[in-house]
Homo-oligomer: A and B are copies of this chain.
Amino acid sequence: MVTIQEAFSILKNNLPEPKVQKISLSKAKKHILAEDLIAPISMPPFRQSAMDGFALALHEGLEYEIVGEIKAGDTHQVALKAGQAVKIFTGAPVPDSATAVMQIEKATVSGNILTLEEHPNQEQNIRPVGEQNLKGDLALKKGTLLNAACIGFLAGLGFTEVNVFQKPKIGILVTGNELVQPGLPLEFGKIYESNSIMLDIALQEAFYDNNTIYRVNDDFENTKNKIAEALAENDVILISGGISVGDYDFVATALEALAVETLFYKVKQKPGKPLFAGKLKDKMIFALPGNPAASLTCLYVYVLPTLHMLSGRALEYGQTVPKKLTHDFTVSNARNQFLKAHIVDNEVTVLTHQNSSMLNTFSVSNGLMYVEDGGYQLAKGTAVEVYVI
């Protein structure tokens, strides 16, 4: 049995190195950039009109001769002499010979004669080359989490693929002879298997979509073979149903037979005491408790941070935010606890139904309040640590 802090530290010290993969920009969402990216072009790449109006070769007067037009996307240059203008549209290239753009609202046109209301300033309404970035600038640095704006920014610079840290492939193994698939009749003594879909969806909510579910019969050979298959096909294995000392639990013996190294088994926490973590070369194995709420708690506290770090994110285990309790709360437990809770703004409320088998209040939780072991009173307004989920 280890403490929560020991478990965090053991995991941190045993994390495999993130792997790098070249990926299409359209698939790069929520990946971490694995390289510094240098802008291959300036943005804008040419002097660009910021308005619909007229590009002007400036002279003394307010009248100009209109000699043509340039639409956005036009690729031709126009050589203007002083006193000449072209009609121009937002986003269109301003001719080298023009030194200002007057917006259409401040000009009147009569035939090919343009009359301005006022003298324009030099370079007015012209976005200079490289206003956003110059060719050769650092566009995005290694370690950046690629969101929609990043991906749009890179596409605008002409990138189509980038090197990112690979997201782990995850195998979810389900064990337990008491489990029946939802939709089938439920015999006495059986319950519906719900952990695999719950874990899969929780992973998808965190943008881990490459998950495979394996169903294991409770005998040694099948357990061992399915774990071996899942290890071969994935980077991280979640075994649902956990490890127990029970005579009919073959997970522990199968892991041993497969030479999986135990990182820790049992954590002094509630829920989730039977949590197991192991390692085989660069593969991580977690055996999560069978009780759904305990399983989900361990996923949020241990597995998701592991997946994030394997995906190249710079973060730590045990990242909580301080919130204020909305009510008095009595702690009475020999283990540190994660309590299903609801956060609103800066406050947190502990929910009912904390039993590790119970999911119903987890469905309205957006946080897990962490409290140290012991018997003591937390008064309304006390600052507590909360894992945001």
Contact = CB atoms under 8 A, between A and B. Distances in A.
Q: What is the size category of the interface that chain A forms with chain B? A: 35 or more
A73 B180 CA distance: 9
Nearest to A179: B73
A218 B245 CA distance: 70
A53 B175 CA distance: 20
Interface in A210-244: 218, 244
A194 interface: yes
A140 B361 CA distance: 10
B363 A296 contact: no
B194 A182 contact: no
A176 interface: yes
Which of A183, A245, A321 gathers most chain B CB within 10 Å?
Answer: A183
Q: Which 9 A-B pairs have the closest CB atoms?
A: A152-B198, A73-B177, A148-B202, A73-B178, A155-B194, A149-B362, A156-B194, A153-B359, A72-B178
25 contacts: A44-B357, A46-B188, A71-B177, A73-B189, A75-B187, A75-B190, A76-B189, A89-B244, A89-B248, A90-B290, A127-B357, A132-B357, A147-B201, A147-B202, A147-B205, A149-B198, A149-B363, A152-B359, A153-B360, A153-B362, A155-B192, A155-B193, A156-B191, A156-B194, A160-B182
